[in-house]
């Protein structure tokens, strides 16, 4: 006991070099690890996407066989969702939640570190499957893991299942920590209603994660049973049904869409008021809309399964459930517009990304509304339209919000200014690239081009060319971001604590130590 008390009382011994990062527990260090890791995965997953797009540049199989194409397609989705976007949001949470609610750290700093360290190990397992081509290669059934297709594949498929299980554990730990932090460690005076919108959206997303991650874990565990232990959960000969796996997967997947987009909504709700120099319009209604959207997320999974044969009553139920999500989404968008209304707008890089998000979120959301309509979904199912919708929401949506958030908080994190001109260049090239990449896919889908197929009919060539050019533009533009970040960290000009004159919130009030706040500050509003 005495030894332990001594260990607790011992002052921080700051390790240096690699060891510092391996043993880090501070929320800022973990946040940085998350963000750097997410950026690395963005480039790896992005390289896969560019390889796929290069294959689709022209008809015919030119660069790879169908099997390799399927593997890259599967890994691209898994890496981008579980390796890039979700970890980036976790990194922002780790950095910002304690700062924004006036907490000394996340509630469980060591669990925060564990949540992070599971990621590189799991992604290493995932990527290692690419090098197992002799025994079947990487998983090739798509990130949706539909049986009986997913029952094929050897070692790589098993490794991917175990890796994704680890990612589920990581996500659940992150969510637990966020919930415990927000409920346990708020500064006095910060009621739930006064929570900054980024923190509120993360709280809601965390609850979704706690319910949804087990559904994916369950689906994968049952598949592992079918693959190796002789169970017949998904085999009609034994009384099972492969469609049940789809129900489980989409219960997770439909929630996952909201888990990825809600914190992005939160980021944008922080940025817009800062650069409109007005508080967020309708703080409470925005918060309630986010909550309502999360509730709808839990009952909308069947809208992904209309084409696989639901009973008509089920198809209708899920159709209306999914379409209802447009209501809270509209509330949020109108609140944003009202926030901008008669504000003193200025257009720095974070604001540009946030404004683009508003536009693309609306566009992608409307496309989602089309896909949710059961009769139309039968037409659009498994076409490039679905790819376009998903990528509008995840790239022009979640990724743009994350990039905007990164620019927004970069001066706060590093104490230095970033290069505004390069930031704007990055934004405009990204915007151009993303829309050039994804808009043609709506048209291709409507015209009937399938997704997940490496070849296509001649008449689809022209839009595919544009899409590939756009994808490369989008990918290369992210190198500018890398350069901007490195240059800022390496010695940009010094920035004030309250770098943005319009910024409100606890995170801008004091330059804190490596951990967040020591003694809890008091606050009476989300924008002190």
291 vs 443, beta carbon nearer another protein: 291
> Using CB under 8 A, which of the segments 60-68, 207-215, 411-419, 472-480 binds another protein?
207-215
Q: Return the H-helix or E-strand segment holding 375.
A: helix 374-380
Residues near 24 by beta carbon (within 8 Å), at least 6 away in sequence: 30, 33, 113
User: Looking at 54, 58, 114, 447, which residue binds another protein (CB under 8 A)?
Assistant: 114
* By CB under 8 A, residue 36 contacts another protein: no
> Using CB under 8 A, which of the segments 7-15, 67-75, 404-412, 439-447 binds another protein?
7-15
What's the rounded Cα separation, in Å, for the pair 80 and 474?
15
> Using CB under 8 A, which of the segments 137-145, 194-202, 205-213, 355-363 binds another protein?
205-213
* By CB under 8 A, residue 159 contacts another protein: yes
166 vs 449, beta carbon nearer another protein: 166
Number of residues that bind another protein (CB under 8 A): 85
229 vs 344, beta carbon nearer another protein: 229
User: Looking at 36, 54, 63, 155, which residue binds another protein (CB under 8 A)?
Assistant: 155
For the window 179-198, what string marks contact with another protein as x by the rule CB under 8 A? Answer: xxx-xxx-------------
Minimum Å gap between C-beta 29 and another protein is 9
User: Looking at 108, 291, 317, 466, which residue binds another protein (CB under 8 A)?
Assistant: 108
Least Cα distance to 387 among 452, 432, 337, 293 occurs for: 452
User: Looking at 43, 51, 57, 117, which residue binds another protein (CB under 8 A)?
Assistant: 117
* By CB under 8 A, residue 5 contacts another protein: yes
* By CB under 8 A, residue 177 contacts another protein: yes
Answer whether 367's CB lies under 8 Å from 296's CB. no
The total of other beta-carbon atoms located within 10 Å of residue 216's CB is 23
What's the rounded Cα separation, in Å, for the pair 271 and 504?
10
**Per-residue H/E/C for 85-144:** HHHHHHHHHHHHHHHHHCCCCCCCHHHHHHHHHHHHHHHHHHHHHHHCHHHCCCCCCCCC
Minimum Å gap between C-beta 80 and another protein is 21
Cis link prior to 148 (omega < 30° from 0)? yes
For residue 111, how far is the Cα from the chain centroid? Answer: 21
What's the rounded Cα separation, in Å, for the pair 108 and 174?
10
**Per-residue H/E/C for 17-48:** HHHHHHCCCCHHHHHHHHHHHHHHHHHHHHHH
> Using CB under 8 A, which of the segments 20-28, 334-342, 370-378, 477-485 binds another protein?
20-28
Residues 308-327 interacting with another protein (rule: CB under 8 A): none
Residues 403-462 interacting with another protein (rule: CB under 8 A): none
What's the rounded Cα separation, in Å, for the pair 479 and 388?
23
Residues 39-68 interacting with another protein (rule: CB under 8 A): none
Minimum Å gap between C-beta 232 and another protein is 5
Answer whether 302's CB lies under 8 Å from 318's CB. yes
For the window 221-260, what string marks contact with another protein as x by the rule CB under 8 A? Answer: -x--x-xxxxxxx-xxxxxxx--x--xx------------
Minimum Å gap between C-beta 506 and another protein is 16
177 vs 435, beta carbon nearer another protein: 177
228 vs 490, beta carbon nearer another protein: 228
154 vs 343, beta carbon nearer another protein: 154
Largest CA distance in the chain: 77
User: Looking at 58, 63, 149, 211, which residue binds another protein (CB under 8 A)?
Assistant: 211
What's the rounded Cα separation, in Å, for the pair 509 and 61?
57
* By CB under 8 A, residue 8 contacts another protein: yes
* By CB under 8 A, residue 131 contacts another protein: no
Secondary structure of residue 494 in the 3-state scheme: strand
> Tokens in use for 92?
């922002």
> Using CB under 8 A, which of the segments 204-212, 330-338, 361-369, 460-468 binds another protein?
204-212
Minimum Å gap between C-beta 203 and another protein is 11
Minimum Å gap between C-beta 486 and another protein is 25
Answer whether 59's CB lies under 8 Å from 457's CB. yes
The total of other beta-carbon atoms located within 10 Å of residue 47's CB is 14
What's the rounded Cα separation, in Å, for the pair 404 and 354?
6
User: Looking at 49, 80, 100, 163, which residue binds another protein (CB under 8 A)?
Assistant: 163
């Amino acid at each position: 006991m005495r030894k332990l008390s001594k260990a607790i009382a011992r002052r921080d011994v700051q390790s240096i070099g690699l060891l510092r990062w391996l043993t880090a527990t501070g929320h800022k260090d973990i946040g940085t690890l998350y963000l750097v890791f997410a950026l690395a995965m963005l480039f790896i997953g992005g390289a896969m996407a560019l390889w796929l797009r290069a294959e689709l540049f022209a008809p015919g199989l030119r660069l790879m066989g169908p099997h390799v194409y399927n593997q890259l397609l599967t890994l691209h989705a898994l890496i981008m969702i579980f390796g890039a976007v979700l970890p980036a949001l976790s990194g922002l949470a780790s950095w910002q939640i304690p700062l924004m609610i006036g907490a000394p750290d996340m509630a469980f700093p060591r669990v925060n570190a564990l949540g992070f360290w599971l990621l590189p190990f799991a992604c290493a397992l995932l990527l290692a499957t690419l090098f197992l081509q002799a025994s079947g290669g990487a998983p090739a059934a798509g990130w949706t893991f539909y049986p009986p297709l997913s029952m094929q594949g050897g070692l790589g498929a098993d490794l991917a299942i175990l890796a994704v299980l680890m990612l589920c554990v990581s996500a659940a730990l992150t969510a637990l920590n966020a919930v415990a932090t927000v409920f346990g460690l708020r500064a006095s005076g910060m009621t739930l209603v006064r929570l900054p919108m980024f923190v509120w959206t993360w709280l809601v997303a965390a609850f979704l994660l706690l319910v949804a991650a087990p559904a994916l874990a369950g689906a994968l565990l049952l598949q592992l049973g079918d693959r190796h232990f002789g169970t017949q959960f998904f085999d009609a000969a034994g009384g099972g049904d492969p469609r049940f796996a789809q129900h489980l997967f989409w219960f997770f997947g439909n929630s996952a869409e909201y888990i990825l987009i809600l914190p992005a909504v939160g980021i944008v709700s922080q940025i817009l008021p800062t650069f409109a120099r007005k508080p967020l319009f309708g703080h409470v209604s925005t918060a309630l809309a986010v909550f309502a959207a999360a509730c709808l997320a839990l009952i909308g999974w069947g809208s992904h399964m209309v084409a696989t044969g639901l009973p008509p009553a089920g198809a209708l139920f899920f159709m209306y459930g999914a379409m209802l999500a447009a209501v809270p989404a509209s509330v949020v968008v109108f609140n944003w517009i009202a926030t901008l209304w008669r504000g003193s707008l200025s257009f720095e890089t974070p604001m540009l990304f946030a404004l683009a998000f508003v536009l693309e979120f609306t566009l992608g959301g409307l496309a989602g509304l089309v896909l949710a309509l059961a009769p139309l979904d039968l037409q659009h199912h498994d076409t490039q339209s679905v790819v376009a919708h998903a990528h509008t929401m995840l790239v022009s949506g979640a990724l743009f919000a994350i990039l905007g958030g990164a620019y927004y908080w970069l001066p706060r994190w590093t104490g230095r200014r970033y290069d505004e001109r390069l930031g704007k260049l990055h934004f405009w090239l990204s915007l151009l690239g993303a829309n050039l990449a994804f808009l043609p896919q709506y048209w291709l889908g409507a015209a009937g081009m399938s997704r997940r197929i490496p070849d296509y009919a001649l008449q689809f060539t022209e839009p595919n060319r544009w899409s590939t050019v756009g994808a490369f533009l989008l990918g290369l533009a992210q190198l500018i971001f890398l350069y901007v970040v490195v240059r800022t960290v390496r010695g940009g000009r010094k920035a004030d604590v309250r770098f943005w004159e319009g910024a409100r919130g606890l995170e801008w009030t004091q330059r804190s130590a490596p951990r967040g706040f020591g003694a809890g500050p008091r606050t009476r509003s989300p924008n002190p």
